[in-house]
Structure 1
Amino acid sequence: MMLAESEILNASILIVDDQESNVILLEQTLREGGYTRVASTMNPQEVCALHRENAYDLILLDLQMPGMDGFQVMEGLKTNDADAYLPVLVVTAQPGHKMRALQAGARDFISKPFDLVEVRTRIRNMLEVRLLYKKLENYSKELEQKVQERTAELRESEARFRSLTELASDWYWEQDENGNFTKVSGPVLEMLGIRVGTLQEEGNDVRATGWNEAERELLQERIAARQPFLDFVFSRVNADGSRQQFRVSGEPMFNQASRFIGYRGIGVELTAKN
């Protein structure tokens, strides 16, 4: 992930210092460096409101100011829930304040009196980190939105698919890798003679209901081989002697790791109970 030079020079910067001479010097240094969006204030009590309104990419913050010092300003900036990254570069003439400022959330510091080469270097370095952080955050949001949109599309597609299969067949079904029914649409359980209690308590066991074993074995061979099947016909004889025939089509399902997770398909009853 790269940054264009124009992105860095177009970053929004706020200078906060109660000394007008310092403000003028920093503004001049930044403008000579090609930065185009530079603002300033000599009133530290305005900083939080200004940042909420403008979402600065960098705040050059003097620590020693009357009425409200830089540490208090940083505490106020932390209440901005929309920005988890505190874009503050502190300005201080007190070496003992540097560690405290970093612990308070500042990202870097500039020492007084100013070394203009150091000022330009630290400002640029911090802007690169800040803008990359924002770009990554925006990318994560875009990716999350795309995932949500794709999920909604898949759900809509699945709903359309099920609607079509319900129109084209008597029932839609899904089974897990162990052959247990996980989803059914239509009277599939009634057609197959499976009671709800049997489904829940005996794991969909339908072997003792009069199925044609030769047909069942052929179907099981295809399922064991993870093969799709089309218009497969199988039958069973009910306890009252009546015979039922069914035609099913199915396909194996796999997850993103290519692991088999079951089958899904459609079916119709060819002959109703007598």
Structure 2
Amino acid sequence: MMLTTQDLLNARILIVDDQLTNVQLLEQLLSEAGYKNVTATLNPTEVCALHRQHQYDLILLDLQMPGMDGFEVMAGLRTNITDAYLPVIVLTAQPAHKLRALQAGAKDFISKPFDLLEVKTRISNMLEVRLLYKKLEDYSKILEEKVAERTAELRESEARFRSLTELASDWYWEQDEHGYFTKVSGPVLDMLGIRVDTLDGSANENTHEGWDAAERAQLHAAIEARQPFIDFAFSRTYPDGSQQHYRVSGEPMFDQSCRFIGYRGIGVECKQMVYSNASINNTASS
């Protein structure tokens, strides 16, 4: 975030002084230093409106002026601009006014009568700080816009993903690293009869009733090994002899540091057992 000499020389500067000779002296000094966008006013009541219109990078402000002094001008600027940074250097011949001016929001001061080297140095330093502040502010706005845009894209992508999983399955599910459901879309809990327990029923012995022990052990082994599984088929037999058949696919989830944080997947209820559980074995051997 570097500034060039041209950035400084193209800065917008406003001179405010009721003494024409002071204005002319400062205009000549700034012109000779190469500054290209310098304007001036002898009327302090115009400053707030001019700044709203032009958003000056620096205002050289005399403190002692008739009708409206520099302190009143700064008070008006603070209430009329959205920028929290007040880009003002005060011009004063009164040493006692310097501290009061800084407390009122001025960023620096230049003593009268003018020391030309001091004037050029303070203006250059002030502009450098001001322009860097603006660049940082602009960069922060760009970052905020990019974050908002990326967040919207992610939400749209998640919505599409949810829509597709709902079309392709009876439920979508996520489990934490301990195997407990953290997110469910669809009737999986009621269909499987496992409430808030794990997918393979390992958290609660009461959920084992009716489930095929060999299938449950195979699914549990895949989860323990952090393996993905595709169309794993399992079934449950109820006391009246009726059966329910399911297929479920899942994949392990990891955070940015590669720590296992759980599983996610989809599932469907089947009328017939169409798929075998060889997919888990094939995945493990590949």
- Tell me the TM-score normalised to structure 1 length: 0.89
Mapped pair 1:111 → 2:111: yes
Alignment of 1:114-263 (within 5 A): 114-194=114-194, 198-199=195-196, 207-209=205-207, 210=209, 211-256=211-256, 258-263=258-263
- Tell me: CA distance 1:143–1:258, structure 2 relative to 1, closer, same or farther (3 Å): farther
What's the CA shift for 1:181?
A: 2.4
Gaps of 5+ in 1: none
What's the CA shift for 1:22?
A: 0.6
- Tell me: CA distance 1:187–1:250, structure 2 relative to 1, closer, same or farther (3 Å): same
Which one-letter code corresponds to 1:45 in the other structure? T
- Tell me: CA distance 1:32–1:156, structure 2 relative to 1, closer, same or farther (3 Å): same
Contact 2:170 / 2:267 at 8 angstroms: preserved in 1? yes
Contact 2:52 / 2:81 at 8 angstroms: preserved in 1? no
The residue that corresponds to 2:26 in the other structure is 26
Mapped pair 1:89 → 2:89: yes
Residue by residue over 1:27-68, the C-alpha shift from the partner in whole angstroms, topping out at 9 and shown as x without a partner, is 111111111111111111111111111111111111111111
* C-alpha distance in structure 2 between counterparts of 1:95 and 1:239, whole Å: 97
- Tell me: CA distance 1:233–1:16, structure 2 relative to 1, closer, same or farther (3 Å): same
3-state SS, counterpart of residue 235 of structure 1: strand
- Tell me: CA distance 1:226–1:63, structure 2 relative to 1, closer, same or farther (3 Å): farther
* C-alpha distance in structure 2 between counterparts of 1:239 and 1:120, whole Å: 94
Gaps of 5+ in 2: 273-286
Contact 2:172 / 2:265 at 8 angstroms: preserved in 1? yes
The residue that corresponds to 1:4 in the other structure is 4
Residue by residue over 1:63-88, the C-alpha shift from the partner in whole angstroms, topping out at 9 and shown as x without a partner, is 11111111111111111352011111
Contact 2:165 / 2:266 at 8 angstroms: preserved in 1? yes
Range with bigger deviation, 28-37 or 167-176? 167-176
Which one-letter code corresponds to 1:73 in the other structure? V
Residue by residue over 1:205-240, the C-alpha shift from the partner in whole angstroms, topping out at 9 and shown as x without a partner, is 665232334333332333334332222222222243
RMSD: 2.1
* C-alpha distance in structure 2 between counterparts of 1:137 and 1:159, whole Å: 33
* C-alpha distance in structure 1 between counterparts of 2:33 and 2:233, whole Å: 79
What's the CA shift for 1:4?
A: 1.7
Range with bigger deviation, 90-99 or 227-236? 227-236
Which one-letter code corresponds to 1:116 in the other structure? L
* C-alpha distance in structure 2 between counterparts of 1:87 and 1:206, whole Å: 68
Mapped pair 1:43 → 2:43: yes
- Tell me: CA distance 1:93–1:182, structure 2 relative to 1, closer, same or farther (3 Å): same
- Tell me: CA distance 1:33–1:251, structure 2 relative to 1, closer, same or farther (3 Å): same
Residue by residue over 1:250-273, the C-alpha shift from the partner in whole angstroms, topping out at 9 and shown as x without a partner, is 12233445444332111112237x
What's the CA shift for 1:130?
A: 0.6
Identity %: 73
Residue by residue over 1:2-37, the C-alpha shift from the partner in whole angstroms, topping out at 9 and shown as x without a partner, is 012211111111111111111111111111111111
What's the CA shift for 1:242?
A: 2.1
